[in-house]
Amino acid sequence: MTNRKVLTIKAVAQALLDKGLLTQEQFTDVIVQGEARTARLQGQHPGYARRFAQSPVLPSPAEVISSFNLEIPGGNGRILTEDAITQVIAKAAGIPYLKIDPLKLDLEVVTSPIPRPFAMKHLIVPVAENGETITIAVADPFSVDEIESLLRLKKVNVERVLSSKSDILKILREFFGFRASILAAQNESAATVDLGNLEQFVRMKGHHDIDGSDRNIVNAVEFILTYAFDQRASDIHIEPKRDMSLIRFRMDGVLHNIHTIPKPLHLPIVSRIKMLSRMDLAEKRRPQDGRIKTNHGDREVELRVSTLPVAFGEKVVIRIFDPDILMKDLDGIGFYPREYQLYNGFIRKPNGIILVTGPTGSGKTTTLYSTLRTLSSPEVNVVTIEDPIEMVMEEFNQVGIQSGIGVTFGTILRNILRQDPDIIMVGEIRDRETAENAVQAALTGHLVLSTLHTNDAPSSVTRLLDLGVPPFLISSTVIGIVAQRLVRCICPLCKRERQLSGEEQAFLGLDARHTRVFYGDGCTACRGTGYRGRSGIFEVMDFTENLIARLGDEADTAELQEIALRDGMIPLRQVAVRKMLEGVTTYEEVIAVT
């Protein structure tokens, strides 16, 4: 290999500039800082590269330039991604570009023609086979000779396509890792035939260090978890069907099919997960709960595992609690400044009740945990009563409900008051006893945070009245009420602009000045959904003098709403519309959520 051409940052940046994907200024920045950036990226290889790459792979020009997160000139805030850069390189090199979809690849095609170390070293992946021709995705347009000579030995024709290095690495990891483990384990289990024995075998190994032949199951489970963390999934479902087992991830609130695994491997994989979460392996007929603490990079992640016997075996659901997702800085969960200031005022009060309301999955827990983290310090005694404990946090004293043996929110709350807490978080006020104890705690100098299952802030007052709390106790204890929802955010990589129709405008009561909105077209990054990530929207009701005065007169929900609005409360719908006009979310989300 002599005089092999090398793709430089400068050449790629020039091509991007020519295509109008970089401004002159961005171009200069890239050239000036390119080298330092390359060195920095080299120092912080993503975990998988460290773990799975045989040889250290240098950052490619596309990786380096995309790491600047540059905004495409005139692109409506779209970011110049590694994929976009790879497309430009492909065009310049005269090679077709391919965005690899892992779900469309065949394990045999990917893993058989080229040995893994060679594929890793040269960053190449066979993606299709058609008779005598094999299509190979390459990350470097100049990697021609070595690949062709290798395949000429096998007497096949080679067609090259260019794909991003990240995609190729992901596929190599995925296929040589997960699928190879699955295949190996399957061969193993076929030899054993008796699956009961295989499971027994896994369990016995559990008492010693895991090694040897069940390494494949261990690897497969690790791949599933790592992949879920990488995808920022909130739940993993492993569902036994008649002939196979289905692995699904919930991402941004929606379930996606990720893998199917051969049926004989369902049992050992479930056993491995049960073992990790310290469940009873022999128990297969009753639901069980467990926890796994693990890490993703340098962050600690908590997994809550539950099993449920269904028709074709045990179904496993793993909920992922990533502290970075569950507990954010309070100013990072989506509050607008006015609402943030109000809420921040509520939580700085020494005593009283703060309620967060909304349906299941509206982000209430994130708001409460984030609040507790903001307030907690060594001098402040924080106690939580939850059903069940969502995430174990050392700095809080957490108590779980066991309604089966009569340990309810109410009874625990009564006992906890003797332990002199400063701040009490009650998972949910759902009965009269809990409501009375919460009021009692607030009256005796504690700050109480809790949730209610109501749709908006004003109707929460009505709910408290229904639970038997008299108006004068509500007005003397409740500081403020927050109603919240989560809206899905538009994927920044496929964001497009459109105009609202007359009908849509009328529906939201918008005038002709507010017609420009955005949506996501759907791309591989967002799995065609057009959305990535979520943001909270908040309606904050302050207990003003006016409100308190009318409360005593037994005003109904509509009247309370009217007073709150007059005193400055901005309703959920209006907050959502603002997020839509700012291009954070879509018209459809606003309608669906509010």
Residues binding Zn ion (CB under 5 A): 491, 493-494, 520, 523, 525-526
- Please, what is the minimum distance in Å from the beta carbon of residue 135 to Zn ion? 25
Distance CA 478, CA 196 (A): 57
- Please, what is the minimum distance in Å from the beta carbon of residue 522 to Zn ion? 6
Nearer to Zn ion, 171 or 526 (CB): 526
Nearer to Zn ion, 102 or 323 (CB): 102
Token pair 């261990």 is found at 218
- Please, what is the minimum distance in Å from the beta carbon of residue 361 to Zn ion? 22
Residues 123, 163 contacting (CB under 8 angstroms):
no
Distance CA 299, CA 584 (A): 27
**Helices 545-552 and 557-566 meet at what angle, rounded to 10?**
160
Reference 107, options 154, 190, 185, 171; nearest CA is 171
Nearer to Zn ion, 138 or 491 (CB): 491
Q: Where would I find the beta strands (DSSP E) of 71-214?
A: 124-130, 133-138, 157-162
Record the tokens describing residue 356, joined without a space.
């967060």
Residues 90, 195 contacting (CB under 8 angstroms):
no
Sheet architecture: strand order including 244-251: 254-262, 244-251, 235-240, 313-321, 299-310, 288-296
DSSP 500: P
Nearer to Zn ion, 256 or 319 (CB): 256
- Please, what is the minimum distance in Å from the beta carbon of residue 290 to Zn ion? 35
Residues 340, 477 contacting (CB under 8 angstroms):
no
- Please, what is the minimum distance in Å from the beta carbon of residue 530 to Zn ion? 6
Nearer to Zn ion, 451 or 585 (CB): 585
DSSP 178: I
- Please, what is the minimum distance in Å from the beta carbon of residue 488 to Zn ion? 11
Record the tokens describing residue 239, joined without a space.
């569902």
- Please, what is the minimum distance in Å from the beta carbon of residue 163 to Zn ion? 18
- Please, what is the minimum distance in Å from the beta carbon of residue 83 to Zn ion? 11
Which secondary-structure segment (H or E) carries 249? strand 244-251
- Please, what is the minimum distance in Å from the beta carbon of residue 207 to Zn ion? 47
- Please, what is the minimum distance in Å from the beta carbon of residue 490 to Zn ion? 8
How open is the CA angle 61-129-164, to the nearest 5 degrees?
Answer: 15
Reference 266, options 307, 303, 301; nearest CA is 307
Nearer to Zn ion, 202 or 493 (CB): 493
- Please, what is the minimum distance in Å from the beta carbon of residue 431 to Zn ion? 44
Nearer to Zn ion, 228 or 526 (CB): 526
Nearer to Zn ion, 113 or 520 (CB): 520
- Please, what is the minimum distance in Å from the beta carbon of residue 185 to Zn ion? 34
- Amino acid in the structure at residue 568: G
Residues 321, 391 contacting (CB under 8 angstroms):
yes
Buried b (16+ CB within 10 A) or exposed e, 512-537: eeeeebbbbebbebbbebbbbbbbbb
**Which residues are bridge partners to 308 per DSSP?**
315
Buried b (16+ CB within 10 A) or exposed e, 356-391: bbbeeebbbbbbbbbbbbebbeeeebbbbbbbebbb
Distance CA 536, CA 513 (A): 25
Reference 280, options 206, 194, 208; nearest CA is 206
- Please, what is the minimum distance in Å from the beta carbon of residue 491 to Zn ion? 3
Distance CA 287, CA 200 (A): 20
Nearer to Zn ion, 434 or 535 (CB): 535
Nearer to Zn ion, 79 or 144 (CB): 79
Measured at CB, which residue is nearest to Zn ion?
491
Buried b (16+ CB within 10 A) or exposed e, 425-452: bbbbbbeebbbbbbbbbbeeebbbbbbb
Nearer to Zn ion, 346 or 519 (CB): 519
Instruction: Write down how long the chain is.
Output: 594
- Please, what is the minimum distance in Å from the beta carbon of residue 453 to Zn ion? 33
Nearer to Zn ion, 363 or 520 (CB): 520
Nearer to Zn ion, 174 or 252 (CB): 252
Nearer to Zn ion, 53 or 523 (CB): 523
